[in-house]
Amino acid sequence: MDVKGKKVLIISANKFEDSELEFPRDQFKAKGAKITIAGPTREPFYGKGGTKIKPDITFNELTSDFDILLLPGGKAPAIVRKNEKVLEIVREFNSQGKLIAAICHGPQILISAGIMKGRTATSYFQVAKELKEAGATYLDEPVIADKNLITSRKPRDLKYFMKAIFDY
């Protein structure tokens, strides 16, 4: 997929895995994509490693007027998955067949949105049981592409994750 000019929505919150937000954001920017970051409020939030992110919009301001949805991992998905507006946007992206990319604990948000039944995915190993309980087939692979859904396990898999996105 040529991402030049594409609108990428990144949804995250405090205690995200720094590299899982920064690396994709920088890769998308380098290829000419337009990045919008959504957070719980307009206040900055911080990664586990201290990276400061100033959100462009809040969860309440979310729309599905984007081409790609990116859900970084870390501890942030435990917060993000409780927001009904986020879950609504995930469901809209999925029903419209738009690309959803989630890494590490990011698939927890997909589980809470109720879109994993019958899907094949990967995640951080601690999320595997929850994926299976949600009706997904879990595979311990660096990256899994299943229709409009791309999932990955951890920071070490980021290059495979981004390749799958750009090859989509």
CATH number for the domain that contains residue 151: 3.40.50.880
Active site positions, annotated: 104-105
Residue 71 belongs to some domain of the structure: yes
Residue 2 counted as domain residue: no
On whether residue 119 sits in a domain, the answer given is yes
Domain hosting residue 140, numbered range:
7-167
Q: How many helical (H) and strand (E) elements, i.e. helices and strands, does the chain have?
A: 6, 11
User: Rounded CA gap, 29 and 11, in Å?
Assistant: 16
* SS3 call for 3: coil
Q: Which pTM value belongs to this model? A: 0.98
Q: Per the domain annotation, does 1 fall within a domain?
A: no
Q: How confident is the model at residue 167 (pLDDT cuts 50, 70, 90)?
A: very high
Quick: pLDDT tens for 62-112: 999 999 999 999 999 999 999 999 999 999 999 999 999 999 999 999 999
pLDDT digits (tens, 9 = 90+) for 7-53: 999 999 999 999 999 999 999 999 999 999 999 999 999 999 999 99
Could you give the number of structural domains in the chain? 1
